[in-house]
């Protein structure tokens, strides 16, 4: 054996079946499905996992009632069906939510809403979620925070999702099945050499370069899908992606019950008001075309005014800027179907397969929803089947049967899991246990280990965040900065002070 200093500097690049650019829900979902089927997978993400569009969603796993107006029946049916599939895969991250839709004279007629909700209840194979019902807002608690409107509302089912944790759970599961996941690693170029792609990446923290070869390449770069095609792959994609911005505001909670509202606006759009993180209400979203760098998108004064105004049309107590604790905005990387306005552009996913005889293929992903990411992953792999090893093809469909990390408990068992955590770790109060159950599912006890007192969790960073959790997130979930922890792996950023965040960051950088 050669002494260390005499070892050859350059080793042959690692070869994988599938290389993926982009660590959002679509890239990580494909990585998980592919790795579970037995393919070798390499995924690079230029920032933190889930730091792109997948962290800026309205956080719903939903059929998309509004898409029925645009005759998107395929998408709505698939999305409705996915709700219960995803609930079973990760009941801590995807939880049922009832939506109250007040009927408003002069907007969509009641018969149209009834028809839409009838379809919603019946086309998606609903088994767990309760059906639609009609409410009298004069007597139901859902009417209490609203301006009097003449009385009627519809209440229907969808789900909420912890979008960023769903991405990370998929990345974790992909790794558990052997995938290589590289956050903070930018794809800088990819070249086709006959039946292989040669992909060059750079670690954005250390500057280290890596070269891998792959039988197929998947461009799941979300809003950057066109940028990756044009500047990293040298392929002229034309104008296929339509960037549509959506902003949200988070305010101190404006109502006490656990249902969400879906409000119709005079401009034909809809705005959600969703109970969020126990003490807050999430209000969104807008729909505006944008150009420029998707990384620099933020909620503007106009976005904030629009959302405050839309919600105040319905809530008896007006929402103004003084209520706001957080704002965020993201960019939908929609497929450009030529629709005239942003709200009617298709939300369905579209693939572009670039294949030439005797050459390695490239699959680019446009559009999609968090809700349909698992089906998108299955379809992506089906498209690439001819280029992948025969051995693994028979294992398609694996992603609907296997639970995600932490999700191995009954679909309606979250409250029981929380009770068990309090019984196993009596130092947890109800709020702390609820947060851990919702964040980690059954993995909460792995994170807590053998602790018998809160002091055994180590340094206290505030808002129930302790050293044990930070260490777990750094070693098991790729966290490197305070923002990774307080915005993407938890939402404790809503509760921690600037000084507490600075202390956490300093400790993590030690």
Q: Which residues bind ligand FAD (CB under 6 A)?
A: 21-27, 44-47, 51-54, 56-60, 186-187, 220-224, 228, 232, 246, 285, 330-333, 365, 368-371
Of the pair 184, 435, the CB lying nearest ligand FAD is at 184
* C-alpha dihedral (147, 148, 154, 157), degrees to nearest 10: 30
Residue 462 CB, shortest distance to ligand FAD, in Å, is: 28
Of the pair 350, 454, the CB lying nearest ligand FAD is at 350
CB 57 within 8 A of CB 370: yes
DSSP state of 315: B
Of the pair 228, 360, the CB lying nearest ligand FAD is at 228
Residue 181 CB, shortest distance to ligand FAD, in Å, is: 12
Residue 357 CB, shortest distance to ligand FAD, in Å, is: 28
Instruction: Show Cβ contacts of residue 44 under 8 Å, excluding neighbours closer than 6 positions.
Output: 19, 20, 21, 23, 182, 185, 186, 187, 199, 201
Of the pair 99, 224, the CB lying nearest ligand FAD is at 224
- Coil, helix or strand for 94? strand
Residue 376 CB, shortest distance to ligand FAD, in Å, is: 8
Residue 59 CB, shortest distance to ligand FAD, in Å, is: 6
Rounded alpha-carbon distances, angstroms, from residue 202 to 27, 210, 220: 18, 6, 17
Of the pair 98, 332, the CB lying nearest ligand FAD is at 332
CB 124 within 8 A of CB 80: yes
CB 153 within 8 A of CB 103: yes
Of the pair 281, 442, the CB lying nearest ligand FAD is at 281
Of the pair 264, 418, the CB lying nearest ligand FAD is at 264
Strand 41-44 to 180-182 pairing: parallel
Residue 242 CB, shortest distance to ligand FAD, in Å, is: 12
Of the pair 113, 299, the CB lying nearest ligand FAD is at 299
Strands (E), 81-169: 94-102, 133-136, 152-161
Residue 510 CB, shortest distance to ligand FAD, in Å, is: 27
Taking the C-alpha atoms of residue 265 and residue 262, their distance in angstroms, rounded to an integer, is 10
* Residue 346 main-chain phi, psi, to 5 deg: -60, 140
Of the pair 220, 492, the CB lying nearest ligand FAD is at 220
CB 350 within 8 A of CB 74: no
Which of 296, 323, 294 is CA-nearest to residue 307? 323
Residue 275 CB, shortest distance to ligand FAD, in Å, is: 15
Taking the C-alpha atoms of residue 147 and residue 313, their distance in angstroms, rounded to an integer, is 8
CB 32 within 8 A of CB 174: yes
Instruction: Show Cβ contacts of residue 345 under 8 Å, excluding neighbours closer than 6 positions.
Output: 242, 244, 334, 335, 336, 337, 339
Residue 507 CB, shortest distance to ligand FAD, in Å, is: 26
């Amino acid at each position: 054996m050669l002494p260390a200093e005499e070892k050859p500097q350059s080793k042959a690049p690692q070869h994988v079946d599938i290389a993926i650019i982009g660590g959002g829900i679509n890239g990580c979902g494909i990585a998980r499905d592919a790795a579970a089927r037995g393919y070798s997978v390499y995924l690079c993400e230029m920032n933190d996992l889930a730091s792109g569009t997948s962290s800026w969603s309205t956080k719903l796993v939903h059929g998309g009632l509004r898409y029925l107006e645009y005759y998107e029946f395929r998408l709505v049916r698939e999305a409705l069906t996915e709700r219960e599939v995803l609930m079973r895969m990760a009941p801590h991250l995807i939880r049922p939510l009832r939506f109250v839709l007040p009927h408003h004279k002069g907007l969509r007629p009641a018969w149209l809403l009834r028809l839409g909700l009838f379809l919603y209840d019946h086309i998606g194979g609903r088994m767990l979620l309760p059906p639609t019902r009609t409410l009298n807002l004069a007597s139901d608690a859902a009417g209490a925070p609203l301006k009097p409107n003449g009385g009627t509302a519809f209440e229907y089912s969808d789900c909420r999702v912890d979008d960023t944790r769903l991405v990370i759970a998929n990345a974790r599961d992909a790794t558990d099945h052997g995938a290589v996941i590289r956050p903070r690693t930018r794809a800088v170029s990819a070249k086709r050499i006959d039946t292989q792609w040669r992909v060059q990446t750079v670690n954005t923290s250390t500057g280290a370069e890596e070269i891998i070869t792959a039988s197929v390449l998947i461009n799941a770069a979300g809003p950057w899908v066109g940028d990756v095609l044009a500047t990293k792959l040298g392929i002229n994609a034309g104008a296929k992606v339509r960037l549509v911005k959506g902003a949200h505001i988070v305010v101190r909670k404006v109502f006490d019950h656990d249902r969400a509202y879906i409000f119709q606006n005079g401009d034909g759009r809809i705005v959600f008001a969703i109970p969020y993180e126990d003490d807050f209400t999430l209000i969104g979203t807008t729909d505006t075309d944008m150009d420029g760098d998707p990384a620099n998108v933020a909620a503007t004064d106009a976005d904030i005014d629009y959302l405050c105004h839309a919600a105040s049309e319905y809530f008896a107590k007006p929402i103004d800027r003084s209520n706001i604790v957080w704002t965020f905005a993201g960019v939908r990387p929609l497929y450009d179907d030529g629709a005239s306005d942003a709200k009617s552009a298709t939300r369905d996913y579209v693939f572009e397969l670039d294949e030439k005889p005797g050459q390695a293929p490239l699959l680019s992903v446009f559009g999609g929803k968090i809700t349909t990411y698992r089906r998108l992953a299955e379809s992506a792999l089906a498209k690439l089947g001819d280029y992948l090893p025969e051995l693994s093809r028979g294992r398609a469909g694996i992603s609907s049967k296997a639970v995600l990390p932490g999700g191995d408990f009954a679909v309606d068992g979250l409250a029981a899991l929380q009770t068990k955590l309090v019984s196993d770790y009596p130092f947890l109060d109800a709020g702390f246990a609820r947060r851990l159950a919702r964040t980690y599912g059954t993995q909460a006890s792995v994170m807590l280990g053998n602790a018998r007192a809160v002091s055994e969790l180590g340094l206290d960073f505030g808002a129930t965040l302790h050293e044990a959790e930070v260490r777990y997130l750094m070693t098991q979930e790729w966290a490197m900065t305070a923002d990774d922890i307080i915005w993407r792996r938890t939402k404790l950023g809503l509760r921690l002070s600037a000084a507490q965040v600075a202390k956490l960051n300093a400790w993590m950088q030690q």
